[in-house]
Amino acid sequence: MKNIQYSCWPVLLVNYNLPPDLCMKKENIMFTLLIPGPQQPGNSIDVYLEPLIEDLNHLWKKGEVTYDA
Amino acid sequence: MIICPCKECRNVYQQSSSDVVVHLVTKGMDEAYKLQSEWYHHGDSVASAEGVSTTNQRNDEILELYKAAEYFDEELASKRDLVETPLGDLAEIAEDEDRREDEFLAKLADAEPPLYPSCLNHIKLSAIVSLFRIKTRNGWSDKSFNELLETLPNMLPKDNVLHTSLYDVKKFLKSFDMGYEKIHACVNDCCLFRKKYKKLDNCPKCKASRWKINTHSGVVKKGVPQKVLRYFPIILRLKRMFRTAEMAKDLRWHFTNKSSDGKLRHPVDSVTWDKMNVSIQHLQLKQGTCDLDCLQMALIRSI
């Protein structure tokens, strides 16, 4: 993989509430953001993480009502 | 006397059938045995009577997920009917859900018919999902998938409900709220064009154009963004995870799996874990809200 012209950054979210043997399973790792290239975002990654952090803060501060099956 | 498959007897001890029923209800069934496709200790008749079949499990799972979503709405709606004046938050949500309930019912009716009248293995939803799985797993192009969809309905018996184009399939799957948001971004990573910047054409910081510019003529192609961030909303997904019984159990694993005999098996049984819980509650009480930074600080202190 030399001379890569384009790089794209995925942001993955792992739910540690799941049991330890499940939380790192492929199907339980959540793909949340796809940061476009062509270069890596570097320090400005904060800009891109904004929507995700907003949702996480909302869940932390206020929470959401959900039906517990 | 039959062998008892409950958690404590574990197919070792024999009990009378009425005792077995009591055991199964109060203690639950042995997890490992429950997952077996054939309950070999109890003959085939038991297995078929209890309805354990692995062949249709995936299809059932898909339908189950969908139904869970639908019942969620029904539950809230019925709650609203029962309680005349529900508390503020729930009322708002129930109203919102009620509005969406009709849509959901229509969607469910749309998803449930069998692929064709005499089809036993597939309903419309499972057929589409499994086709789409094959597409993504093997990296089929949109064009080839579209062509397959054009041919398939002709091969199936009359009155089949399969969509004939990729566009229809995508629209159908979108009704599950499992899509993603496209957020336009500044080429130089200054900002995202959302909220107060939503309608801007240029970046407020570096004045770069939001839209693509033709390199030869220099004409700005309005509507074609230079950079797009894709965001898969997590809140909806987490909510949906709680709607399946099995997942909901797993999601509360740390809370429910605390050991009761005072022995340590997992960090969840430790004193530090409890301390953390208490200190976070303190922080939340003290400030009303709690930032992630506070959590980090608390973590560092406890270590």
What ipTM goes with this model? Answer: 0.84
In this model, does residue B149 exceed pLDDT 80?
Answer: yes
Chain A residue with CA closest to B253: the answer is A19
Q: Can you name the residues that pair with A31 across neighbouring β-strands? A: A12
Q: Which residues on chain B are in Cβ contact (under 8 Å) with A56?
A: 234, 292
- B54 pLDDT band, cuts 50/70/90, is very low
Chain A residue with CA closest to B73: the answer is A67
Of B6 and B294, the one with more pLDDT: B6
B21-39 pLDDT, tens digit per residue, is: 888 888 888 777 777 777 7
pLDDT the model gives residue B83: 43
- B221 pLDDT band, cuts 50/70/90, is confident
In this structure, how many other beta carbons lie within 10 angstroms of the beta carbon of residue B276?
A: 18
What is the signed CA dihedral for B106, B109, B112, B115, rounded to 10 degrees?
-100
Task: Name which of A13, A51, A64 is nearest B239 (Cβ-Cβ).
Answer: A64
- B51 pLDDT band, cuts 50/70/90, is very low
Phi–psi pair at B164, nearest 5 degrees: -105, 0
Among candidate residues B195, B176, B175, B173, the one with its CA nearest the CA of residue B184:
B195
Q: Can you name the residues that pair with A9 across neighbouring β-strands? A: A35
Mean local confidence (pLDDT), B205-222:
81
pLDDT the model gives residue B115: 79
- B81 pLDDT band, cuts 50/70/90, is very low
In chain B, what are the domain boundaries? Answer: 2-50, 58-174, 181-231, 261-302
pLDDT, chain B, mean: 73
pLDDT the model gives residue B190: 81
Query: Which residues are CB-neighbours of A7 under 8 A, at least 6 positions away?
Result: A37, A38, A39, A40
- B91 pLDDT band, cuts 50/70/90, is low
Whole-angstrom distance, CA of residue B289 vs CA of residue B167: 44
Question: Per mean pLDDT, which range of A14-18, A44-48, A63-67, B22-26 is the poorest?
Answer: A63-67
* Angle separating helix axes B124-138 and B88-111, nearest 10 degrees: 90
pLDDT the model gives residue B288: 47
pLDDT the model gives residue B193: 84
Using left for φ > 0, alpha for ψ between -120 and 50, and beta otherwise, residue B214 falls in beta
B236-251 pLDDT, tens digit per residue, is: 788 877 877 888 888 8
pLDDT the model gives residue A15: 84
In this model, does residue A12 exceed pLDDT 60?
Answer: yes
- B103 pLDDT band, cuts 50/70/90, is low
Which pair of tokens denotes residue B142? 């949109």
Whole-angstrom distance, CA of residue B65 vs CA of residue B245: 10
Among candidate residues B48, B45, B55, B46, the one with its CA nearest the CA of residue B20:
B46
Mean local confidence (pLDDT), B99-127:
74
In this structure, how many other beta carbons lie within 10 angstroms of the beta carbon of residue B260?
A: 6
pLDDT the model gives residue A56: 86
Which pair of tokens denotes residue A14? 């792992």
The DSSP secondary structure of chain B, one letter per residue, reads -EE--BTTTTTTSEE-HHHHHHHHHHT-B-HHHHH-SS-GGGHHHHHHHHT--STTHHHHHHHHHHHHHHHHHHHHHHHHHHSSS--HHHHHHHHHHHHHHHHHHHHHHHH-SBSSTT-SS-BHHHHHHHHHHHHHHHT--HHHHHHHHHHHHHHSPTT----SSHHHHHHHHHTTT---EEEEE-TTSS-BS-GGGTT-SB-TTT--BSEEE-TTT--EEEEEESEEEEE--HHHHHHHHHHSHHHHHHHTHHHHT--SSS--SSGGGSHHHHHHHHHHHHHHHHHSS--HHHHHHHHHHH-
Among candidate residues A32, A28, A31, A29, the one with its CA nearest the CA of residue A51:
A32
Mean local confidence (pLDDT), B104-115:
72
**Global pTM value:** 0.56
Does A32 contact B231 at a Cβ distance shorter than 8 Å? yes
Mean local confidence (pLDDT), B65-94:
52
Characterize B43-77 residue by residue with b for buried, 16 or more Cβ atoms within 10 angstroms of its Cβ, and e for exposed: eeeebeeeeeeeeeeebeebbbbbbbbbebbeebb
Does B242 contact A51 at a Cβ distance shorter than 8 Å? no
3-class SS of residue A30: strand
Mean local confidence (pLDDT), A19-37:
84
pLDDT the model gives residue B71: 56
Residues of B within an 8 Å Cβ radius of A: 68, 72, 75-76, 89-90, 93, 181, 183, 185-186, 189-192, 194, 227-235, 237-239, 242-245, 247-248, 250-254, 257, 266, 289-292
Burial of B146 (0-12, 13-18, 19+ CB in 10 A): middle
Q: Which residues on chain B are in Cβ contact (under 8 Å) with A67?
A: 72, 75-76, 242-243
